[in-house]
Amino acid sequence: MTAILVTGGAGYIGSHTVRHLMEQGHEVVVLDNLQTGHRGAVLTPHFYEGDISDAALITEIVKKHRITAAVHFAALSLVGESMKFPTKYLEANTVKSQLFVHALVDNGVKQLVFSSTAAVYGLPTQVPIPEDSPTHPINPYGLSKLFIEQYLQMMDTLHGLKWVALRYFNAAGASEDARIGEAHDPETHLIPLVLQTALGQRESLSIFGNDYNTPDGTCVRDYIHVRDLADAHARALQALENGKPSGSYNVGTGQGYSVLEIVEAARRITGREIPTILAPRREGDPDVLVAQVDKIAADLGFTAKHSDLETLITSAWNWHSQLSC
Ligand code: UFG
């Protein structure tokens, strides 16, 4: 039996994708260094704790499990941290990914789905953002991912590696059975922070700026359910299997919500008070990030099905509330 290698399969989006691929009947092997991932979130018995830059380990895994395709999540992903430690991000995300891609190609694996980000666009010149917009990242995190997208294209030219880069907008939500969800330490993402505030684990939520060029002054983002993201990865793998050409795709809903709209929806859904305080703008936050989603719909047949605010926040709430029981 052939299998799919998932790096970062112990992480938030990785663990949901592993589960989805297994439900589709794939054999899945996870490689994760558990630096930010959680061992308990790995749902396949085939688990390797190790580094993506360990070529000998990649060779062993590919041979042993007859790997035919890989999904590469393993990365550092905090924008703020990347501003403080740019070299750390370029090493972990760019240098190590290059070594990983080489190890795949050397072992004959020619299909790769890569975790990219809306941060490759920087400050968008057009919203909703189409994939062919200029890519001028404004933080090292976005740059570290853009380098790899470009490198993958070179690997296609040189070695026939077929790849899909999925540029995520704002991932959120948890599995329907509340078994896996979003757990970062430290937590910096809006929806988990809002729900922790609803649970009384934090005194208040800081709203980072209310003088943005948006209807209510707070930043607008395109929130996509992690289950939809998992589906997008499965479709990308299938497209590569079907011989579709390499390329980059936005993964979002095409619909944006402001920070205040998220807080209001969370108040309604949880029935809890969510105290807020106004805080200064956070460095590097664009006013509006919303995906244009026509390309992924046309090429991969993908549309978000679970990303309405009700489903999204309810699933995250169920997961956060059972954690605190
Ligand atoms: N926000 C607050 N208060 C908080 C936390 C967040 O007001 O306590 C605001 C942010 O300023 C932003 C919005 O909520 O306007 C969403 O912030 P997140 O930190 O949840 O997400 P980001 O939009 O900053 O980042 C996400 C991904 C990144 C990706 C980026 C694309 O987490 O990996 O989108 O720009 F790079």
Query: What domains, with CATH codes, occur in the chain?
Result: 3-171+225-251 (3.40.50.720), 173-221+254-323 (3.90.25.10)
The rounded Å distance from CA 81 to ligand 1 centre is 13
Could you tell me the CA-to-CA distances from 4 to 12, 54, 110, 251, 316 in Å, in that order? 18, 18, 12, 21, 28
Could you tell me the CA-to-CA distances from 50 to 35, 163, 185, 252 in Å, in that order? 10, 23, 20, 31
Find out whether the beta carbon of 207 lies less than 6 Å from any atom of ligand 1: yes
Find out whether the beta carbon of 85 lies less than 6 Å from any atom of ligand 1: no
Find out whether the beta carbon of 221 lies less than 6 Å from any atom of ligand 1: yes
Find out whether the beta carbon of 115 lies less than 6 Å from any atom of ligand 1: no
Q: Can you give the pLDDT at residue 131?
A: 98
Cα(23)–Cα(56) distance, integer angstroms: 30
Find out whether the beta carbon of 170 lies less than 6 Å from any atom of ligand 1: yes
Find out whether the beta carbon of 13 lies less than 6 Å from any atom of ligand 1: no
The string of pLDDT tens digits covering residues 38-97 is 999 999 999 999 999 999 999 999 999 999 999 999 999 998 899 999 999 999 999 999
Cα(310)–Cα(317) distance, integer angstroms: 10
Query: What atom of ligand 1 comes closest to residue 118's alpha carbon?
Result: 31
**Which residue has its alpha carbon closest to ligand 1 atom 1?**
190
Q: Can you give the pLDDT at residue 132?
A: 98
Which of 141, 168, 249, 257 is labelled catalytic? 141
Q: Can you give the pLDDT at residue 323?
A: 75
Alpha helix (H) residue ranges in 161-213: 190-198
Cα(286)–Cα(170) distance, integer angstroms: 13
Q: Can you give the pLDDT at residue 325?
A: 58
Q: What are phi and psi of 58, to 5 degrees?
A: -60, -45
Query: What atom of ligand 1 comes closest to residue 259's alpha carbon?
Result: 14
Residue 141 annotated as catalytic: yes
Q: What percent of the chain has pLDDT over 90?
A: 91
Q: Can you give the pLDDT at residue 185?
A: 78
Cα(71)–Cα(59) distance, integer angstroms: 16
CB atoms within 10 A of CB 111: 21
- The residues near 238 (Cβ < 8 Å, ≥ 6 apart) are none
Would you give per-residue pLDDT tens digits along the chain (325 residues)?
789 999 999 999 999 999 999 999 999 999 999 999 999 999 999 999 999 999 999 999 999 999 999 999 999 999 889 999 999 999 999 999 999 999 999 999 999 999 999 999 999 999 999 999 999 999 999 999 999 999 999 999 999 999 999 999 999 998 888 787 787 778 899 999 999 999 999 999 999 999 999 999 999 999 999 999 999 999 999 999 999 999 999 999 999 999 999 999 999 999 999 999 999 999 878 999 999 999 999 999 999 999 999 999 999 999 998 876 5
Cα(218)–Cα(282) distance, integer angstroms: 11
**Which residue has its alpha carbon closest to ligand 1 atom 20?**
189
Query: What atom of ligand 1 comes closest to residue 218's alpha carbon?
Result: 15
Q: Can you give the pLDDT at residue 324?
A: 64
The structure tokens listed for 45 are: 């018995």
